[in-house]
Amino acid sequence: MGKTITATGRITAIICACLATILIVATPVSAQVVPDTFEITTSVVSTGLHEPGDYLFFCQYEVAWALPANYPDDPISETVVVQLIDPLTDDAIASTSPYPYYNNGYDKGLVAIYMSQLDAVAANITWQTGYKFQIVSTPGAFATPQSYEYIIPTNEYCQSGTTSQAANRDWIREYCLNTGYVLTINWVGAGDLTLQSIDMVLSPLGEAYLLRVMPGLRDLVPLLFLATVVTPEFEETVWSGTHSDAMENIWSGTDVVSTGIDGLDGLTEGRGVFATNFLVLGLMLAVILVAGATLKAIAPGLLAGSIVVIVGADLGFLEVALLSIFELLILLYAINKTVGLNRT
C-alpha cells in the first residue's frame, strides 16, 4: 500500500529543503590554522628624507607555520594588517597590508608607512615618542584572531636625529640592506635581494620588492638603488631687455648710423655710412658715364666703376652689401654680352 503525500506534506518538504540549503550556504568555511609565528621582529624610523618633517616607518614581520601544508592559499594582503599605533591614545595613526611578493607574502617580509610633513603634523607625530607597530589578522582569517604589538625602541630611531638628510637616508639604506640579507636567506630559491659587490645596493629582485613595499623609496633613498634618476639643479633664466637695449645703441657716437628714421636723418645731414654710400656710388656712376661718352662703350666704364666700389668698400666708405649687389649686376651684364655675342 503506497503512501499518499498531501499538499501540506509537499509544502513542509519544500521548506525543509530550503532551510537545509540556507544552512549549507551560510555555514562558514573553516578558518586557517593559527600561525606558529606571528610577530614583528625589527623596525626603523627616519625623518627628513624628502622634505623637513616627513617620516618613514619600516618594520620586518614574520608570519609562518612549521608545516608547509598549513600555509593559507589567500595572500597575506587579505589576512594581515599592520598598523602604526599612537602611544598616548592607542589609536591607529596609519595602516597598511604586507605585499604578497614571495610565498604569498608569508614567512618574513617588510612593511613601510610614509607620512608627509602635512600628514605628520596632522597626526601630531613627535620624534622618539614610543610609537608602536601592531600586526593583526583580519576577521575570520585564522581560527583564532591574532595580534602582536612591537614598541619601537629608541635605538631604532635614526641616531642623527632630525638634522642631516644624508645621515637619515643612510640609516634607512643600511636597514634595507641588512634586512635584504635576512630575506635572501629566508626566501629559499628566490635569489639575492642585494648586490654586495657593487657598492652595496639592491639587486633587481630587491628593487622590485621594496618599490612595492614603499613605492616612493627611490626618491627617499636614492643611493639604495643601482641606477638613480636625479633632477639637475639649475637657475632659471630671468629674461630682460638689457642686451637688446645695448644692441640698439651699439653704433651711438660713431660714423655708422642705425637703420630706419635715424638712417634717413643721417642721409639728409650728410653724415655716416649713408652719406659715403652715395658719394661712392655717385663717383662710380660718373666714371661709367664719362667712359661711355668718351669711348662709346659701357664695358670700360663698368670695369673702372667696379674698381671704385671695391676700393670704397675696402676703405669703409661703402657697405659690403652694396658692393655685392653692384658686382652681381656687372656679372649679369657680362654674361648677357657673352651670350649675345655667341648668338651672333
- Side chain identity at residue 3, one-letter code: K
The reported pLDDT for the residue numbered 25 is 42
pLDDT, tens digit (0-9, with 9 covering 90-100), for 96-130 = 999 999 999 999 999 999 999 999 999 999 888 88
More confident residue, 293 or 189: 189
Cβ atoms within 10 Å of 287's Cβ, excluding its own? 20
- The answer, yes or no, to whether residue 245 has pLDDT greater than 90, is no
DSSP state of 155: G
- Whole-number mean pLDDT of the chain? 79
Confidence class for position 267, pLDDT limits 50, 70, 90: very low
Q: Which domains, and CATH codes, for the chain?
A: 37-224 (2.60.40.150), 255-343 (no CATH)
C-alpha 169/C-alpha 154 separation (Å) is 18
- The answer, yes or no, to whether residue 29 has pLDDT greater than 90, is no
The reported pLDDT for the residue numbered 190 is 87
Least confident of 46-50, 199-203, 217-221: 199-203
Q: Residues 235-255: what's their mean pLDDT? A: 71
More confident residue, 131 or 249: 131
In the chain, % of residues over pLDDT 90 = 42
In the chain, % of residues over pLDDT 70 = 71
**Cα 123–Cα 126–Cα 132 angle in degrees, nearest 5:** 80
Confidence class for position 3, pLDDT limits 50, 70, 90: very low
- The answer, yes or no, to whether residue 138 has pLDDT greater than 90, is yes
pLDDT, tens digit (0-9, with 9 covering 90-100), for 154-164 = 999 987 776 78
The reported pLDDT for the residue numbered 183 is 93
Confidence class for position 329, pLDDT limits 50, 70, 90: confident
The DSSP-derived string for 162-205 is TS-HHHHHHHHHHHHHHHHHHHHHHSTTT--SEETTSSSEE-HH
pLDDT, tens digit (0-9, with 9 covering 90-100), for 11-24 = 555 555 555 554 44
pLDDT, tens digit (0-9, with 9 covering 90-100), for 79-91 = 999 999 999 899 9
The reported pLDDT for the residue numbered 263 is 45
More confident residue, 134 or 264: 134
Output the pTM of the full model: 0.59
Q: Which residues of 106-121 are buried (b: 16+ CB within 10 A; e: fewer)?
A: bbbbbbbbbbebebbe
pLDDT, tens digit (0-9, with 9 covering 90-100), for 38-77 = 999 999 999 999 999 999 999 999 999 999 999 999 999 9
Q: Map residue 11 onto helix, strand or coil.
A: helix
Least confident of 114-123, 224-233, 308-317: 308-317
